[in-house]
Amino acid sequence: MNLDELVNSVPEIKLRENLSRWVREWKQDDKDIETLAYLIGKWHGNVWFQDTDSSNKFHSEFQNFKSAAIDNIGGLTLNERLYWFGLFEVWEGGNEITQNRLRSKLRANA
């Protein structure tokens, strides 16, 4: 499950839209993946799902995403990083400055 799928897994429309806004802003700024993990954790800790099972499921899915995409970032290719974080379109449509920003965001500077 990549970042966009994680956002779309939130069953409540208002919560999903709110998280989507946070993620969209992160995709456009210069903050890295550690900040993203912090933002999602903070978001989840400050919202109320109508159903505890849905909240627990989201938490579990987030932990799986974090483990695969963030904690394991050093073992991923640039294309895998772009997939995990839903940034292919930004990369393809971006100029050199945008691509360098994404490399930095995804810790792919080498």
User: For residues 32 and 107, is the Cβ–Cβ distance under 8 A?
Assistant: yes
Q: Which amino acid is at 38?
A: Y
Q: Give residue 53's pLDDT.
A: 97
Q: Give residue 72's pLDDT.
A: 96
User: For residues 102 and 92, is the Cβ–Cβ distance under 8 A?
Assistant: no
Average pLDDT over residues 40-59: 97
Q: Give residue 109's pLDDT.
A: 84
Residue 32 DSSP SS3: coil
Nearest partner of 101 among 37, 33, 30, 34, judged by Cα:
30
